Amino acid sequence: MHPYFQICSRLREASEKAEAVSKPMFRTIEEIQRYNQQKMLAAFNRAGVSESHFVGSTGYGYGDRGREVLDEVYAYALGAEDALVRHNFVSGTHALTVALFGILRPGDKMLCVTGTPYDTIQGVIGIEGREEKGSLKEFGISYEQVDLLPDGTPDYEEIERRISPEYKMIYLQRSRGYSLRPSLFVSDIEKIAGIAKRKAPQSIVMVDNCYGEFVEKEEPTQHGADLMAGSLIKNPGGGVAPTGGYLAGRKELVELCSYRLTTPGTGREIGCTLGNNRELFLGAFHAPHVTGEAVKTAVFAAALFSELGFAVTPTPQELRTDIIQAVLLKSREALVSFCRGIQKGAPVDSFVAPEPSPMPGYDSDVIMAAGAFTLGASIELSADAPLREPFAVWMQGGLNYHSGQLGVLLAAQEMYENGLIA
């Protein structure tokens, strides 16, 4: 290990054991990584990507060929009929919001079948106690949900019972969010979509795909999902995209959503790219490899903290469907120490000590470690959590495994120095 970083012998020994435990899973991850990287290259080749597509546009952006070809690349790579990829989606929640308002109309009903969704989307929907101005609820769109089973898995019997033609949208959140429930595999989504199409053939199956892109060989849109959305500063931006988001799915649905992003009648035909095209193309190309590196970092973190006596989910031996690793740290002090250690492993702002603070869209103080080249980019190594029971931390990202592994070790070292690891 480079002498700049001081890791105690106790943790070095635990690290060696953790890496040995992780190696069988690394082989599986690298196989997926290889396939998805080949798929991305195929997408670039099929779309005929050229240097001319990197030129930016201004004003209305009419005829921006790079923007159009970028959509083609993402559609193929994500196994969808069509895609809408734009730098002016400000977050994954924004992309999801455009999809929800693009598809749903006053009087429509949506049914979320994966329990209570992620904090920031609750205000968009207008869930009781989290109503915000301009929410779906304020526009007369009804929301209901099917709770998860006690073990955090979908309640297929209840989903079967509840889905009916009265619901225009069946909504799923693939990743766990700030919960300890298992994330959904593409096969789980396919099973739910199958029920939806049988019970309500005209319903639209919508997936929040954040954190899940390129973790498996195929995507929800290849297995029954009609529409999905995500953020470019997570997996599909490859750590290069400076901002943005995407929608992908059935062509007519993507078109409807484009009218919400811009205006009815103009849709995807306007919107200048301001010189962002090259970074979005480059990020897409790197995305499958970078996602695999983040998954390897998560597996190592699970193995290390299991070795140190902490409960983790997923375990080191479990197959993955997103880049998130949760560690149950047992106390507020351990949670803060972990995040401060992750920050010390960052290439940017490593000298900063994260502090819990209020954050828009969340109902409790949140601590975030994210020394990133792109502010808030969770494909870069980061860790965050609300300051509430069970004091679990959610870690994700790592542009490459070697720096990600070191960041995890520095989190453990910070806890060790504060007497939180025996």
- What is the structure's pLDDT at 129? 78
Query: Two tokens at 28?
Result: 């599986």
How many CB atoms sit inside 10 A of residue 373's CB?
Answer: 13
User: What confidence tens digit (pLDDT) does each residue in 145-195 have?
Assistant: 999 999 999 999 999 999 999 999 999 999 998 889 999 999 999 999 999
Nearest to 29 by CA among 397, 213, 299, 211: 299
Q: Please report the pLDDT score of residue 353 as a whole number.
A: 96
**What is the domain range of residue 348?**
9-38+285-417
Q: Could you tell me how many residues make up the chain?
A: 422
Find out whether 418 and 332 touch, Cβ atoms under 8 Å: no
Last residue within a domain, chosen from 217, 252, 275: 275
Is there a single domain that holds both residue 258 and residue 126? yes
Are 264 and 292 in the same domain?
Answer: no
Residue 46 lies in a domain: no
Distance CA 348, CA 59 (A): 34
In a domain, residue 1? The reply is no
Residue 238 and residue 379 share a domain: no
In whole angstroms, how large is the CA radius of gyration of the chain? 21
Whether 118 and 266 share a structural domain: yes
For residues 308 and 317, give the distance between their C-alpha atoms in angstroms, rounded to a whole number: 16
Q: Is residue 235 within 8 Å of 215, Cβ to Cβ?
A: yes
Which helix (H) or strand (E) segment holds residue 145: the answer is strand 142-145
Q: Cis link prior to 390 (omega < 30° from 0)? A: yes
Q: Are residues 25 and 73 in the same domain?
A: no
CATH number, residue 316: 3.90.1150.60
Give domain status of residue 51, yes or no. no
Contacts of residue 339, Cβ cutoff 8 Å, sequence gap at least 6: 354, 367, 368, 369, 383, 384, 385, 393, 411
User: Do 95 and 228 fall into the same domain?
Assistant: yes
The tally of domains found in the chain comes to 2
Which candidate, 299, 371, 314, places its Cα nearest to that of 342? 371
pLDDT digits (tens, 9 = 90+) for 199-223: 999 999 999 999 999 999 999 999 9
| CATH number assigned to the domain comprising residue 232 | 3.40.640.10
What's the rounded Cα separation, in Å, for the pair 219 and 226? 11
> Within the chain, which residues score under 70 in pLDDT?
361
Nearest to 313 by CA among 136, 152, 113, 96: 152
Question: CA-to-CA distance for 380 and 400, rounded, in angstroms?
Answer: 9
The encoded tokens of residue 48 equal 């005929």
311 located within any domain: yes
pLDDT at 122: 94
Q: Report pTM.
A: 0.96
Phi first, then psi: give them for residue 112, nearest 5 degrees. -90, 125
Q: What is the pLDDT of residue 361?
A: 64
- Give the model confidence (pLDDT) of 54-93 as tens digits: 999 999 999 999 999 999 999 999 999 999 999 999 999 9
The answer to whether residues 299 and 316 touch, using CB atoms and an 8 Å cutoff, is yes
Q: In 3-state terms, what secondary structure has residue 237?
A: helix
Tell me if 369 sits within 8 A of 346, measured CB to CB: yes
**Are residue 128 and residue 255 in the same domain, yes or no?**
yes
